[in-house]
Amino acid sequence: MIRIELLTPNGHLFSSDTYNKLFTMHGVVMIFFFLIPSIPAVLGNFFLPLMIGARDLAFPRINLLSWYLLVIGGLFAIFAMLAGGVDTGWTFYTPYSTTYSNTWVIATALGIFVAGFSSILTGLNFIVTIHRMRAPGMTWFRMPLFVWAHYATSLIQVLGTPVLAVTLVLIFCERVFHIGIFDPALGGDPVLFQHLFWFYSHPAVYIMILPAMGVISELISVYSRKPIFGYSFVAFSSVAIAVLGFLVWGHHLFVSTQSFFAGMVFSFLSYFVAIPSAIKVFNWTATLYKGSISFETPMLYAFGFIGLFTIGGLTGLFLACLGIDVHVTDTYFVVAHFHYIMVGGAIMGYLGGLHYWWPKMTGRMYPEGWAKLSALVIFLGFNLTFFPQFILGYLGMPRRYHTYPSEFQVLHVLSTAGASVLAVGYIIPVIYFIWSLRYGAVASSNPWGATGLEWRTPSPPPVQNFEKIPVVTHDAYDYSTTIGEVIEVG
């Protein structure tokens, strides 16, 4: 819808107000209710206990509570945005969100606030489970990297999300009780909001991308039949990303009233956070070296992830550079950058993981041919959608406008065409996944010949996960003993 509107320079379909509400809804729903919970809630809750040989998470009831909170918060926020609409953008920048906007800001923020608790509880549950419930022999450095990534993610969720909650409460206080927090007329500072907001929202990017990185580590290892190169570096880089991620929020304030010196510090720290990400990418490629690679669908997504994430990450370095950032702030360059990370990274990881573990979750195989086709369509559609946006942004097209000078039309048309291709790419898996639930071939307990504990129990796993709690005697990804061996579990 948004892309269709941008087909023509003048914007015939919607008014500016409607367009503002639309992109706010797109941002809020995608970030808070899809990207942040997707991998931890779907794949993490299911496989984290399986992968460390536990029968369930440490607090199953808290897990259920966090699910209810997510659904309640999500439905509430979506209802508020449909019924009243919100036009602040997903970032809720003050003073617009506190003083000027007449839309349903508080209701939407409340929905996000409630869903935030879901995120905190999930993080708490994962941390306790990983600390206390590992199977005998499952030492910290035998844990699959998916688990390490989720451990790092959980730290961010537990430590970062309360800051967002507080920020939203402060907005509420200012809007309702006129307490001066962000409004200078009342003694506040609007830039304070940007500090608080990005203190959560930059780490939140890592809440989205770290689990995807964990998935990719699994996929690369399985489909090249090799242990991950530099296992402990990859494991610690997850934790390093979680820690450093908290120290870079100032790079969103290069054009706000932040001193130049602070800008330099944050710029430097932002370059720094690229190091652990690069460690991962290089170690993945090193894993591929001399591996016996097979190009199953999940592996295609893993390759897609590496390519797109690298582009997203490198353009992030452009943005961390003070001089360039001032030029491209709030342009399509930024839009393209974070879509490469969040869609090209997080969603590719999510789809890869979903395909990889689908046989384990449902006991059915998906149709391989269609799956490969859709992986290809998604990759092409994605690049066609977002690559032109880098150029648009560099040429000066600002984000969040639905009208633009006519010389930008070609690139906008390309981008819209790409979005249509991308949509088709997303619809195909939905169809064949539903189809496979009934008609897919029955999956064996270990269709990929992988080493993880989750493959040593029937597909789908019994209620208690394992007949008998396994004893771990090998490192993760030890393919020296299990090549070609398919463990059948009755």
Nearer Cβ to another protein (175/195) = 195
Q: Is 250 in the site for another protein (CB under 8 A)?
A: yes
Phi, psi of 145 (to 5 degrees): -70, -25
Contacts of 246 (CB under 8 A, 6+ apart): 156, 159, 160, 199, 202, 203
Burial status of residue 289 (CB atoms within 10 A of its CB: 0-12, 13-18, 19 or more): exposed
Closer by beta carbon to Cu ion, 154 or else 201 = 201
Which 100-159 positions form the footprint of another protein (CB under 8 A)? none
Nearer to Cu ion, 75 or 274 (CB): 274
Cα angle 309, 44, 377; round to 5: 40
Q: Residue 266 or residue 432: which is nearer to Cu ion going by CB?
A: 266
- Residue 11: which region, alpha, beta or left (left: phi > 0; alpha: psi -120 to 50)? left
**Choice from 258, 277, 297, 416 touching another protein (CB under 8 A):** 258
The smaller minimum CB distance to Cu ion, of residues 202 and 355, is found at 202
Q: Which one of another protein, Cu ion, none is in contact with 239 (Cβ closer than 5 to 8 A by kind)?
A: none
Q: CA 181, CA 101: separation in Å to the nearest integer?
A: 17
* Residue 202 interacting partner from another protein, Cu ion, none (CB closer than 5 to 8 Å by kind): Cu ion
Write down the least CB distance from residue 262 to another protein, Å: 4
Least Å distance, CB 248 to Cu ion, is 6
Least distance between another protein and beta carbon 248 (Å): 10
3-state secondary structure of 243: helix
Q: Return the number of the residue (246 or 305) whose C-beta is nearest Cu ion.
A: 246
Main-chain phi, psi angles of 331, to 5 degrees: -110, 180
Beta strands in 314-363 (DSSP E): none
Task: Quote the CA–CA distance of 78 and 89 in Å, as a whole number.
Answer: 14
Residue closest to Cu ion when measured from CB atoms: 202
| 368 close to 58: Cβ distance less than 8 angstroms | no
For residues 326 and 263, the answer to whether their CB atoms sit within 8 Å is: no
- The footprint of Cu ion (CB under 5 A) covers 202
**Residue type at 74?**
G
User: Residue 48 CB, nearest distance to Cu ion (Å)?
Assistant: 27
> In Å, how far are 22, 387, 455 from 58, measured between CA atoms?
40, 43, 21
> What whole-number distance in Å separates Cα of residue 207 and Cα of residue 37?
9
Please choose which of another protein, Cu ion, none residue 177 contacts, taking the beta carbon within 5 to 8 angstroms, the exact cut-off set by kind. none
Size of the site for another protein (CB under 8 A): 9
| In the block, residue with structure tokens 């290069």 | 254
Residue 481 binds which of Cu ion, another protein, none (CB < 5-8 A, kind-dependent): none
Q: Is 261 in the site for another protein (CB under 8 A)?
A: yes
Q: Candidates 139-147, 231-239, 251-259, 430-438 — which segment interacts with another protein by CB under 8 A?
A: 251-259
Q: Which of another protein, Cu ion, none interacts with 257 (beta carbon under 5 to 8 A by kind)?
A: another protein
Q: Which stretch binds another protein (CB under 8 A): 255-263, 383-391, 405-413, 476-484?
A: 255-263
Q: Which residue is it, tokens 């003050």?
A: 94
How far is Cα 178 from Cα 395, in angstroms, rounded to an integer?
Answer: 41
Q: Which is nearer to another protein, 10 or 257 (CB)?
A: 257
The least distance separating another protein from the CB of residue 259, rounded to whole angstroms, comes to 4
Binding site for another protein (CB under 8 A): 247, 250, 257-262, 265
